[in-house]
Amino acid sequence: MELIKRLRFLLPLLVFASCEDVIQLSVDQGPPKLVVDAFVSNIIKPQTIRLTRSINYFDSSGSEPGVEGATVLLVDTSTFKIFPFTDQGQGQYVFNPNPATGDTFTIGRSYTLLIASGSDTFVSFSTLHRTTQVDSLMKIPVEGNGPPFITTGCYLDMIAYDQPGPGDFWWVKTYRNDTFQNRIDQLNLAADMGNTNNGLDGGMFIYPVRTGISDRTRSFQAGEEVQVEIHSISREAYYWFLLIQNENFNGGLFATPPSNIPTNIVNINPAKKTPLAGFFCMTAAKPFTYLVTE
Amino acid sequence: MTAYIRSFFFFATFSLLASSAWAQNTVMISGYVRDSASGERLNQAQVFVSSDLGTASVQTNNYGFYSLRLTAGSYNLTTSASGHVTRKLAIKISTDQSLNIELAPQAEAMQEIYIGASRNANTRGLNMSTQTINGQTIKKIPALLGEADVVRSIQMLPGVSTVGEGATGFNVRGGGIDQNLILMDEAPVFNSAHLFGFFSIFNPDAVKDVQLIKGGIPAAYGGRLSSTLDVIMRDGNEKEFKSSGGVGTIFSRFAVEGPLMKEHPLAKDSTKTESASFIVAGRRSYIDFLAKPFLPESLSGSQFFFYDFTAKANYTRGNDRFYLSTYLGDDVFNAVDAFGFKWGNSTATARWNHVFNPRLFSNTTYYYSRYRYNFIFDVGGNRFDWQSYIVNNSVKSDFRLYANSKNEVSFGGQMTYYRFIPGEAEANNISGRTVFGLPDRFGLENALYLSDDINANGKFSVRAGLRVSQFLYLGPGKVYTYYPAWEVGQRRFVESITESKKGEVVAQYINPEPRLGLKYELSKSSSLKAGYNRMAQYLHLISNTAASVPLDVWQPSTNNIKPQLADQVTLGYFKNLVLPLKSKPDAALETSVEGFYKTLQNQVDYIDGASLLLNEFLEGELLTGIGRAYGLEAYVRKNSGAFTGWISYTLSRSERQVEGINNGDWYPNRFDRKHNLNIITQYRLNPEWDFAANWAFSSGTPTTFYSGQYTVQGYLVPDAGSKSRNNVRNPNYHRLDLSATWTRRKSDKWERSWVFSVYNAYNRRNPFSIYFDTNYKDLGQNAAIRYSIIGSFVPAVSYNFTWN
């Protein structure tokens, strides 16, 4: 898609009369959707599920109202053990795992998400898949020409291996000084060892995945702390992320029709038409922390 | 299949026998209608005979041949053709006779832009939903940058629209751009656009005429659902050498034509003649030279141009005529060290016309046609090189049997072998070289047809035809089977992959395609016509972008992709009005009103977020649905006098229903336009000055807008709401173009003209699309952006010459 998007720059070159301008549009948002943001990992730190409502596309405040007063639970489907998420206000529901009491998630098990909000009950399922870990990070020095272009510093190259056997899907999350790198162009996915579902399996992750932890224009500086987590995700989550990526890169003359991102969360009463969005996925990861040195 | 073949030949043989049985007391008159100045064969000329014994008429075929069956006696024979002086002859025939008729082109001084076929041909003929524009007319319609263009002219006709400026192709009666069969001298072309659609690939200097058939499509044509655009190239002047050309703002053209062998009688049989002629025409754009001073240094070695080259030669000997023609064209965009992009068609055609006897005319064609594109992307040491082709080789034979005074039978067959090379790609980067790509695919399309034009009585005629088409999806290749989608509208995953052997039939489809045309003459100048056609299409253009891009991939029907089918009924009223003008007693208005209703099956659509490029599992991303299109077309055309032109208005709707899109409800197609009005006017002030103006209006096309947004895991997700597909209309499109042509005749041999034109004269900023950007100018904010391809008026001057 990115490839196609670039083609749009051809046209102004060809016809000097073409033009682009920003216009004000009012779009009818319709009823806001209830958004469930439920990516729950097995990492021993507070796990948060967010319930919010979608906002108008042109609302630049960027803050979606939280949905409070809901009951949010995870249930281990084989043992029926319940993991309650407590309402912290502003749509944040938090669970604190505790290995001492056995309140942790187990790889290979599947979990049911249950949400009761108002008169609605929502449900979804996800399996916690095996994970892999970062072996090491390698520094690649970069000589830049300063902002707004590339800054001098280094990129990081992630050395890590896919699990042997096809069917693993990975979401590589990078935290830079404890800040999650959430720009859409930093969304770093892998299907087995490849960046596309091309059948490469079991080896070292290939290049776009390895260097995808770096920010192309803002290279790492000495003293920065980088944490990389390779989260195992479901096949559905992998494609769901690709859809988001597509939607964000979609634009220009050769744009595909905007489409809704599907959700894997269902209302147990199919007659209820509460608009719903979001995703539930159990993930497993082993964080790897690295301090950038001179 | 064999049963079809058997019945076909039975019918054909029966017709032949029947015709010879009735051939006792009658004689045949046959021959070619030609232009007296150039010897060019005139297709769709009207030959009309009358006497006390009655009247009869026939239209010349695409090769200018006619044949009429008459009772021996004396007749007045009237021949007319567009752009030519009508000629009347008194003939007396007692035996079969060959008569070539030459028509003089209308004298330059009194040249009237005579559009369409001859007088009342539109009401008398069986054709409906058919428009013809000749090369001369195309040249008079003001166009972008002063360059006459075939497809842009077609877009001014009723029932034809486009998604917008810069969009490839055209849409006919609510059909997709891949549903038009575009033939250039019988060979199909798969992308008719230069420069993303601003110009078409046909060089107007080499075009004789263009016929667009939108409904009541005769059985001889098949393979696409919505229309046939038959572009007939000129044969080349048989009498004298001539060159012509032009220098325009964006490209230059040059053409040479002339006799290779002047017409002379054969030594053996002086009633027969021998002759040969050729035409060569080429164009090249020079945007790259013009743009050079404006480009940054990093792009200074860039190439941005297109070219095309048409060559054609013919040789006639007695009852045989041979043609060889070729077309080569490419669009090239090369930005040094960034990307390269090239696409183009090439075709080669060999044809043989043979007149067996005055009753039976045949044409046999072999053609090769190839569409190719190549994309190179080279940034920061990462190089990506991708090629894609569609290649086809075809043999076809068409026969026309002038069986008797009541039956004109056409029959024939075609066999086409396709090779699809959807993608051969090579990637080079620091980790090495990777060659990948998609497996080639093969297909064989066969068709047999039989059609009879039955003149039941003077007023009522019927065209009844049947085309039987067959498509074989052949090995070798990988055969994929897919699981059903886990939810409607979602991706389907591969269940198994098997290998097929060379020549193995993986999937086979057979479709009988009945065709019917009816005509009832209400009076000499008015008629009612009705048509029905079923069409089958085995090729699919895979594209889900707002504007079709040259990167779009053609796919055959496979075990997973079913052939598209369409049924269309058309009803029309045709009337010619004579204007009460004393000075121009002949001045007439052709008018017509036609309604159509079309249903479509197995229309290809795409899952949300489909990945279509170089995707081996493409078929899992496809959805199929149904479509419907209906509308009303009104058309008024003035063909003679100093003031000529036409008005066309179309009221129509084109919709689609696909499970998994838009909650499974009907939604308008991307190219749906409710109103479409075109006014084309041309005025000849004097032999030196011609003026032309056209105004186009059309309702905005639908588009899909995001309405909401939310974040998940910190990533922004744009949201389109619940009933989303094509939920909003772009603003209306309208545009005025003006042109003035100043012609100077220096001598008998040398003529030149200057064309001054203004495109989009009142500076309308028509949006091509309004799109969304989730990170406009890296500000991290959502914005709606209006994209106008032509955002201002575009003046242009071009210079044309002809030299005899």
Buried b (16+ CB within 10 A) or exposed e, B509-540: bebebebbbbbebeeebbbbbbbbbbbbbbbb
- Chain B residue with CA closest to A274: the answer is B722
Tell me the mean pLDDT in the region B204-215. 91
- On whether residue B118 sits in a domain, the answer given is no
Tell me the C-alpha distance between B606 and B330, whole Å.
Answer: 29
**Which residue of chain A is at minimal alpha-carbon distance from B769?**
A253
Nearest-CA distance from B720 to chain A in Å?
Answer: 5
Contact A33 B707 (CB under 8 A): no
Task: Please tell me the predicted confidence (pLDDT) of residue A76.
Answer: 95
Across the interface, whether the CB atoms of B784 and A277 are under 8 A apart is answered: no
**How many other C-beta atoms lie within 10 A of the C-beta of residue B419?**
16
Residues B160 and B20 in one domain: no
> Which of A23, A32, A254 lies closest to B545 in CB terms?
A254
- Which residue(s) pair with A134 in the sheet? A160
Q: What is the pLDDT of residue A90?
A: 92
| CA separation for the pair A98, A111 (Å, rounded) | 17
pLDDT of residue B507: 96
Task: Provide the 8-state DSSP code for B19.
Answer: H
Percent of chain B with pLDDT over 90: 46
Q: What letter represents residue B9's amino acid?
A: F
Selection from A230, A255, A272, A63 nearest residue A130 by Cα: A230
Chain A interface test: which of B379, B713, B792 (most A C-beta within 10 Å): B713
The encoded tokens of residue B802 equal: 């002809």
Q: What is the number of residues in chain B? A: 804
Task: Please answer yes or no on whether A255 and B769 come within 8 Å at the CB atom.
Answer: yes
The rounded percent of chain B whose pLDDT value lies above 70 is 89
Supply the pLDDT for residue B118: 47
Q: Name chain A contacts of B197, Cβ cutoff 8 Å.
A: none
Contact A15 B198 (CB under 8 A): yes
* Beta-carbon separation of A18 and B789 below 8 A: yes
Lowest mean pLDDT among A98-112, B49-63, B729-743: B49-63
Query: pLDDT: is B695 or B22 the higher one?
Result: B695
Mutate to test the interface with A, among B549, B613, B712 (most CBs of A within 10 A): B712
Residues of chain B contacting A23 with CB distance shorter than 8 Å: 770, 784-786
**Contact check, Cβ <8 Å, A14/B195:** yes
CB contact under 8 A, B773 and A57: no
Q: Which residue has the tokens 């070219």?
A: B307
Q: B86-100, B119-133, B349-363, B762-776: which range is least confident on average?
A: B762-776
Tell me the pLDDT tens digit for each residue of B269-325: 888 899 999 999 999 988 777 666 665 665 666 777 899 999 999 999 989 999 999
Kindly report the nearest CA distance between residue A267 and chain B, in angstroms: 15
Domain assignment present for B114 = no
Q: What's the pLDDT at A223?
A: 93
Say whether the peptide bond before residue B476 is cis (omega within 30 degrees of 0): yes
More confident of the two residues B53 and B698: B698
Q: What's residue B21's pLDDT?
A: 44
Residue B545 is given by DSSP the state: S
Between CA B275 and CA B262 the distance in angstroms is 5
Contact: B545, A57; criterion CB under 8 Å = no
Enclosing domain of residue B311: 130-803
DSSP classification of residue A242 = H
Does B476 have pLDDT greater than 90? yes
Q: What letter would DSSP give residue A133?
A: B
Nearest to B772 among A29, A54, A258 (CB): A258
Residue B116 has pLDDT above 50, yes or no: no
CB B391 within 8 A of CB B347: no
Distance between B15 CA and the closest CA of chain A, angstroms: 53
Q: Do both B630 and B665 map to the same domain?
A: yes
Given its phi and psi angles, is residue B7 left (phi above 0), alpha (psi -120 to 50 degrees) or beta?
alpha
The CATH number for B740's domain is 2.40.170.20
Q: Say if residue B334 is in the same domain as residue B285.
A: yes
- Residue B418: beta bridge partners? B392, B443
Tell whether the model's pLDDT for residue B114 goes beyond 60. Answer: no
The angle at the Cα of B650, spanning B649 to B652, to the nearest 5 degrees, equals 160
Tens of pLDDT along A135-159?
999 999 988 777 667 788 999 999 9
What band does B435 get if pLDDT is binned at 50, 70 and 90? confident
Same domain, B159 and B67: no
- The mean per-residue pLDDT over the stretch B30-35 comes to 92
pLDDT reported for residue B730: 82
Q: Is the pLDDT of residue B218 over 50?
A: yes
* Cα gap B761→B463, rounded to integer Å: 45
Q: Which helix (H) or strand (E) holds B681?
A: strand B675-684
**Residues of chain B positioned with their CB less than 8 A from the CB of A250:** 772
Q: Do A182 and B713 touch (CB under 8 A)?
A: yes
Whole-number pLDDT of residue A124: 96
Nearest-CA neighbor of A84 among A116, A127, A44?
A116
CA A186, A187, A193, A196 dihedral sign is negative
User: How far is it, in rounded angstroms, from Cα A100 to Cα B441?
Assistant: 60
Closest-CA residue of chain B to A62: B710
Average pLDDT over residues B667-688: 91
Pairing of strands B708-712, B715-719: antiparallel
A160 neighbors A213 (Cβ within 8 angstroms): no
Taking the domains of chain A in order of start, what are their residue ranges? Answer: 134-235+286-291
Q: β-pairing, B180-184 with B227-233?
A: parallel
Is the confidence at residue B587, as pLDDT, over 60? no
What pLDDT, on a 0 to 100 scale, did the predictor assign at position B20?
Answer: 46
- Given this model, what pLDDT does residue B405 score? 79
Alpha carbon distance B716, B744 (integer Å)? 64
Note whether B719 contacts A54, CB cutoff 8 Å. Answer: yes
Going by pLDDT thresholds of 50, 70 and 90, the confidence category of residue B83 is confident
Nearest by CB to B708, from A32, A246, A252: name it: A32
Q: Give the count of domains, chain B.
A: 2
CB contact under 8 A, B786 and A23: yes
Q: Give residue-wise pLDDT tens across range B748-765.
A: 788 899 999 998 899 888
DSSP string, B90-157: EEEESS-EE--EEEPBPPSTT-----SSSTTHHHHSS--SEEEEEHHHHHHS--GGG---HHHHHTTS
Residue B19's CATH number: 2.60.40.1120
Average pLDDT per consecutive 10 residues, chain A (294 residues; last block may be shorter): 43 54 74 93 95 88 86 95 94 95 93 94 96 93 78 91 92 94 90 77 88 88 94 94 84 69 89 88 96 88
- The yes-or-no verdict on residue B596 having pLDDT over 90 is yes
Q: A-chain residues within 8 Å CB-CB of B613?
A: 3-4
Higher pLDDT, B803 or B366: B366
* Residue that finishes a domain, picked among B92, B107, B122: B107
Taking CB atoms and an 8 Å limit, are A39 and B791 in contact across chains? no
**Tokens 């009655």, residue located:** B54
Structure tokens, B467: 């085309």
pLDDT 10s digits, B5-18: 555 544 555 444 44
> A17 contacts in B (CB within 8 Å)?
789-792, 794
Check: CB of residue B131 under 8 Å from CB of residue B654.
no
* Of A256-270, B106-120, B566-580, the least confident: B106-120
Tell me whether residues B707 and A247 touch, CB distance under 8 A.
Answer: no
Among A64, A243, A253, select the one facing B711 at the smallest CB separation: A64
Query: How distant is the Cα of B721 from the closest Cα of chain A, in angstroms?
Result: 7
| Residue B609 near residue A259, CB atoms below 8 Å | yes
Name the phi and psi angles at A279, rounded to 5.
-155, 145
Residue with the two structure tokens 């894997």:
A264
**Per the CB < 8 Å rule, is A242 touching B609?**
yes
**Cβ-based contacts of B773 with chain A (< 8 Å):** 251
Q: Who among A58, A59, A259 is closest to B608 (CB)?
A: A259
The three-point CA angle B605-B609-B611 to 5° equals 80
Enumerate the residues of chain B whose CB falls inside 8 A of the CB of residue A172. Answer: none
Q: For chain B, how long is the longest CA-to-CA vector?
A: 92
Mean pLDDT of B214-223: 94
On whether residue B120 sits in a domain, the answer given is no
In the block, residue with structure tokens 């070289």: B433
Q: A21–B785: do the CB atoms touch at under 8 Å?
A: yes
pLDDT at B55 over 70: yes
| Separation of alpha carbons A102 and A99, rounded Å | 5
pLDDT reading at B94 higher than 90: no
pLDDT band with cut points at 50, 70 and 90 for residue B550: low
* Tokens 């008797």 belong to residue: B404
**Where is average pLDDT lowest: B130-134, B184-188, B526-530, B783-787?**
B783-787
For residue A1, list chain B residues with Cβ-Cβ distance below 8 A: 611
Tell me the average pLDDT across B75-104.
Answer: 87
Q: Are residues B502 and B590 in the same domain?
A: yes
> Is there a contact between A10 and B704 if contact means CB atoms under 8 Å apart?
no
Q: Note the pLDDT of residue B109.
A: 35
Chain A residue with minimal CA distance to B144? A15
Separation between Cα atoms, residue B645 and residue B638, nearest integer Å = 5
Average pLDDT, whole number, for chain B?
86
Question: A184, A135, A176, A132: which is closest to A154 by C-alpha?
Answer: A176
Between the ranges B428-437, B447-456, B632-641, where is the mean pLDDT highest? B447-456
Tell whether omega for the bond before A208 is within 30 degrees of 0, i.e. cis.
no
Q: How many CB pairs under 8 A join A and B?
A: 220
- Give the per-residue pLDDT at A259: 76
Distance CA B78, CA B58 (A): 11
Is the pLDDT higher at B297 or at B329?
B329
d(CA B643, CA B432): 67
> Who contacts B119 (Cβ-Cβ below 8 Å, separation ≥6)?
B46, B80, B576, B586, B588
Distance from CA of B175 to the nearest CA of A (A): 18
8 Å CB contact between B644 and B638:
yes
Contact B782/A58, CB-based, under 8 Å? yes
Residues of A in contact with B429 (CB under 8 A): 207
Which one of B545, B609, B724 has the shortest CB-CB distance to A243?
B609
C-alpha dihedral, B655 to B661 to B664 to B670, nearest 10°:
-10
**B123 within domain boundaries:** no
Tell if the CB–CB gap between B707 and A57 is shorter than 8 Å. Answer: yes
pLDDT tops 60 at residue B3 = no
Shortest distance, CA B358 to any CA of chain A (angstroms): 54
Enter the tokens of residue B49: 């005979």
pLDDT for A3: 43
Interface test with B, best of A173, A260, A266 (most B CBs within 10 A): A260
Q: Which residue has the higher pLDDT, B416 or A149?
A: B416
In a domain, B117, yes or no: no
pLDDT at B41 over 50: yes
Q: Number of helices (H) and strands (E), helices first, in chain A?
A: 4, 18
Nearest CB to A20: which of B196, B609, B785? Answer: B785
Tell me whether residues A242 and B611 touch, CB distance under 8 A.
yes
| pLDDT of the residue at B282 | 95
pLDDT tens for each residue of B253-274: 999 999 999 999 988 888 889 9
